[in-house]
Structure formats: C-alpha cells, structure tokens
Chains A and B, each alone.
Chain A
C-alpha cells in the first residue's frame, strides 16, 4: 500500500483519538506489540520482587541458626519466590517475546485473535495481583511452588494462602491456554505469502511447539487445582489419605503438568538462541531441520518423564526403569541442539556483542544444568541427591543460567527493534560479567551443599562444616547477581533516553522483523518483503529471486 492511500491516513489519524494516546492506549490495546511490552515489563517487575525474596532467603541462610526471620515467614518467602519466578516472571516473559515477535517474524499484521491476546495478558496480571494479595489476606501460600498434598489440606494449612495460590494459578492458567491457542492459529494461518513452514524462523518453530506444550500441559494443573480447592472448601478428600484419598495423586497430576512446564520455560530460550547465534556468527544456522525436529522429540518426550520427580516415593521398579530410560533419552535431542549451535558458531565470523556473550554463556551453563539433570535420571544418584541443594543448583542452572541468560540475549538483540534505540554495549558487558560471576558464585556451591547433605527448603541449618562456609559464599555472590540486574536496569533507563538511534536493522539480521522500522509502526509493515527462503532480508540484499528454502 502506498503512503497516500486512504487506509494509511486513517491509521495515522488514530493518534489524534484520545484512546490511542497515553495510559488509555495501553489499557485498551489489542495490539500485539503493546501487549508484548506489557507482558515483558510486568514480568520484569515480578522478577525484581522474586529477586528481593531470594535475597531475603540468602540473608537468612548466611549463617547457621539465624534468627533473621521466623520459619513461617521463610516458608512463605521461598514458596512465593518459586511461584513468582515460574508463573509470574518466566512464563509471561516468554509470552511477551512470543506475542511481540511471532507476528513480526512471519510478516503478519497482528495475532490471529487480538482480543484473546489482550484477555490472556489481563488474566495473567490480575491472577498475579491476586497471588500477592494473599499477603494482606491472612498469609501467603507456604507449601512450596509444587505444594505437595496433604500438606495443602486444610487440616495442615489453615490460612487462606493455598486457596489464593490455587485460584490465581487457575486464572493465569486459563489465560495461558488462550494465548497458546492464539499462537498456534497465528503461526498456521497468518504467515506471509512465500513463507512455507520450512522457511519459518526457528524462534517461531519453537514458540509453535511450545504453544502445544502449553495447551496440553496446563489442563493437568488446572484439574488438580480444582481438586485441591474442592478438598479445601468442600471436604472432597481427593488428596487426603486419612479419608480414602491419595497423597501421590497430586504429585502425578502436578508433574504431568510440571515437567512439560520445564520445557515450556526452555523452548522459547532455544528459539532466541537459534536466532542470535547465526546472526552474530554471520553464518546460516547449522541443521535447521534437526533443530526443528529435535524440538518435536523434546516436546513429545516431555510428557513421558514426570515420574523422575518422584523416584524416591517408593514406586515399583518397572515404572522406575521406564522413566529413567525416557529421562535419559531426552538428553539426546537436547544434545543435538547444543551441537547444532556450536557447529553454527564453528568457523563463523563471530561478533561478541552483549547478546552473543549471553548466548554463549547460555550454551555452557545450560549444558552444566543438563548434565546434572542426566545425573538425576540415574536413579541411585537421585535417591541420594533429590530434595537436596543439588536440585536447587540444577533448576537454577537450567532456568536462570539457561532460560534467563537466553532471554537477556534476546533483550539485547531485540531492544533496538522494540524501542528504536540501542542498549549500551559497554554497560551491557559490565552487566554480563557481573551476572556470570554472581550466578555461578551463588549456585555452583549449591551442588556441593547438596552432596554435603543440605536439604532444600530448610529455613535454617545447624553449624556443621562445610555448610556454613558454602552458604555464606552463596549469599555474598547473590548480591553480585542482584547488582548485575540493577546495572541492566540502569542500562535500559539510560538507553531509552539517550541511547544511539538503532535504525531498521542494526545487527544485519535476516528475519522479517528487521525489515520494518524500529519501533515498528502500528500496522507492522508498510510492505512485507517477498519471501523466497529462510533469510528473506539476505535474499533481498543480494537480489536473489526464487532462492532455495
């Protein structure tokens, strides 16, 4: 469409209408970019809250037999830390990236269902606020982020915390399923002409599979949440062994959701890495087909490994063998991905921008987390180390050293597109190195704590070497990690005001989002470039017509 077309004039003149300016334009928005930004900003606010809770725990654990806080307070804090980081921070952050970039990368005007998209965000936000409202409504939830029954039954937990926990997760879960469906339909129906599925960027592939994981896994959690609410409010006894219920039933439901959930939190990170590494290595991604297909394998296997969270519950050995085998198998498609990324970097002309540094650190730290995961699949090792600090180290290497580092790679990569300004590379590198130091300093020692016999979720510990020393080291580095996050915030604030103007395509990216202006106009593209292959912008620059996919 040309600049002078009546349609374009109509869009430009929208800025004159009150609803399209200021706060009101955000609250009433059904624009995927505004909703994406709202997701990302909200999740970052909850990230800061979760970080504050983590620091409070690290202060409590700095010395043995500390009286900094009461056990009741600590238990609420560790529960809210886990719940916040998984459901209020990581998932919405990934959804934010998904709804912002999927339409742009496939050359679409918006999501398939813009209003459903807005509904998903508002359900998330109000669900999250309801979760935090529990603090003033008689006590936050205090049974851990996976809330094992029967500790969550009213007889053992009389405050309203668990009710708030279950209700707000239900609200957010409904929003997540809606967003998942929306993403699937968007990818299937709104790809620009010429973009066949095999030409779709890998980030979009990962989000596409991830959306299937979301809509198939969350119903298991939602069902279990309804059951625990029925137990608490209507004396239903689903999970109460004293009345004929089963304590293990909850664990089966929760992890049937919970293990796919881990991959829900990791696949989008794989997507970001698959975009960042080729662009900064100046090479085509190695093994596009393998990267996409191994994702199918991971998604499929992720539904068949949940018992590995329950190896110490005394199940029959036949069940244990099957789930040990499936848990080890999942390392193969994940390993394929790691080698594909390394092969992409191999021989490339690598530019170590901040985004690339985060992507590289992701590769190393995620591999460490993956290897400790394989260790857990070997059941006798799991019998010794499960429920210890080794698990705490493992989950943080995967989700913080893995997912969060990848998301920072994505933020440094796409910030210019979203805001029109570059983040400072100098401050970015300071942020990166502080974060590597803080993260590894905080969590590496936790492997050793687990081996030394430190159980997780304990509000204190008796003075028995080497626990005190290891906890103290971990606590000190946790403040370095927090400092790194504040350096990042400073970078964002500074760059928003006086960052270098980015231009359309500062990194020489190849995917469609770089073809439009930064930030993209409301309609996304004045004209979508023709797509003849996987790298439309490269094709365009090299005047290639009808190239191979």
Chain B
C-alpha cells in the first residue's frame, strides 16, 4: 500500500519535472539544428543562416530549442551543466530545450557510443551576452577576406588543389564539400578536431600533417603533405575569421 503510494508520488514528480525541463513542442522551428557526424558536430542556425561546427554559440538567458539530428549512426548531445541529453538518431529528428542562465563556456560530449572516436567528440557551448552573440552571428555571415601574404595564398591554392575542398566548405571559394566541418571561420574557433586539441598555428599544422596521430580512426585521411605545405594551409585557415 505505502510502496504503491510512493510510486504514484514519484511518477507525478517525474511527469511534472519532465514538463518543466523539456515541455512538448508543436511545430516550432528549432533555434539551432544540431547534426551529429562521426565524430564531430555541425550547427545550423535556420533564422540567420549561420553554419558552424563543434562550438555552439548562444545568447545567455534565452530558452532555446535545439533540433537534434544525425547524419550517420546514433549519437547523443550531452552538455551536463545545461540540462538533459538527447539522442541524435538517423531518420528520427529530436528536439531538446536548453536555457543557460550564466554566460561562459560549457563543455559536453557525445554520450552514445558511436564508433572509433566516440571519446573525442566534444561539445563546447559558448554562452554570450545577447549583443556579443549578435555580433558573433554577424561575423559568421561575412565571407572571409581573400588571403593576403605569400604563405596564405599558397595555402589557399593547396587547399583547392589537394583534396581538402572535396570534404570541407569555405564560403566565397570553390570549396563546397559537406563531409567534414565547415571551415569558413575556422580561425575563430578555440579548439580543433571536436575539442581534441587547442586551435593554434602549430597544432593546426600538426593536424593537417597527420590527423591520424591526434585522433586515430577519424575520417580525415593523412594527405602526405610536406611540413611547409601543411604550414601554408594552416596559415591560410587561421586567417579565416
């Protein structure tokens, strides 16, 4: 008798909390569409058209609806300090509410085992004051300036000649691949490889030389570039802001 009452009370509390933290949605368009890939995250802001990867920017205080989708296998979007987690399932779009109350950087990760590099599929949520977020959004919509300087120009040319552009997009250039992360403003990001390493010129050069030593099994192959070629591409990419 008493145990049954406890179950009823627990169930009522469960239902109440579910509705508080994740109320059912009608046909509202999400603020961001999160698309999980093996082993990185793509973010698309449908209202503004911004596309970015791995680092999610959002304004402090707003209650945002995230659309959670997957491009390949099942993943799970989980930022522990911002609330619940939600599976990203191919062919089965989900939604998740989050409402950060304080500005700052929140770390999360893929929580559903998704293959080789499941461990290095970090999420970085950068929560900013609304005006700062608006400025960031405007900067993301600008097409980056043409490369200036010999190294950056050589890098841009290599990016097109080698296979880089088959997988990556850089707005304003011929590169329109969608297999890997969008690199239009990669120079702005804090980390590379879904949070595997910090975004510095040296680290980026190492990554381009041989991503397989940093993130073994990831889908970016080793391109057999010389160190100076990798360095030139890195200079070019770091100039994309």
Contacts and interface: CB of A to CB of B under 8 A. Distances in A.
A219 to B, nearest CB: 25
Given A150-B90, A312-B76, A460 B11 contact: no
B111 to A, nearest CB: 4
A383 B107 contact: no
22 contacts: A75-B115, A143-B113, A143-B115, A148-B113, A151-B74, A246-B91, A247-B89, A313-B89, A324-B14, A328-B10, A331-B7, A332-B3, A379-B17, A380-B21, A380-B22, A383-B84, A383-B86, A387-B78, A387-B85, A453-B80, A456-B111, A458-B109
B15 interface: yes
Given A241-B92, A242-B90, A387-B78, 20 more contacts: A70-B216, A70-B217, A72-B116, A148-B74, A150-B73, A151-B115, A248-B89, A312-B76, A312-B85, A312-B87, A314-B89, A324-B15, A329-B7, A332-B3, A378-B10, A386-B111, A456-B111, A456-B113, A457-B118, A460-B119
B73 A151 contact: yes
A386 B85 contact: yes
Interface in A251-310: none
Contacts of B107: 453, 464
A388 interface: yes
A151 B78 contact: no
B13 interface: yes
By size class, the interface of chain B is 35 or more
Contacts of A332: 3-4, 7
A453 B108 contact: yes
Interface in B41-70: 68
A523 B92 CA distance: 59
B85 A384 contact: yes
A1 interface: no
A383 B85 contact: yes
A384 B114 CA distance: 19
A346 interface: no
B112 interface: yes
Contact of B92 (A247, A328, A384): A247
B94 interface: yes
B117 interface: yes
Chain B, interface SS category: mixed
Contacts of B83: 383-384
Interface of A: 70-72, 75, 143-144, 148, 150-151, 156-157, 241-242, 246-248, 312-314, 317, 320-321, 324-325, 328-329, 331-332, 335, 374, 377-380, 383-384, 386-388, 452-453, 455-462, 464
A452 B109 CA distance: 12
A388 B7 contact: no
B178 to A, nearest CB: 15
B195 interface: yes
Most A Cβ at <10 Å: residue of B80, B110, B217 = B80
The 9 closest A-B pairs by CB, nearest first: A241-B91, A314-B94, A383-B84, A458-B119, A453-B80, A387-B111, A457-B113, A241-B90, A151-B73
Contacts of A317: 15, 18, 24
Contacts of B72: 150, 156
B127 interface: no
Interface in B105-141: 107-120, 122
A328 B7 contact: yes
Contacts of A383: 21-22, 83-86
Nearest to B38: A156
Contacts of A388: 111
B204 interface: no
Interface string B22-47: 10100000000000001000000000
Contacts of B85: 312, 383-384, 386-387
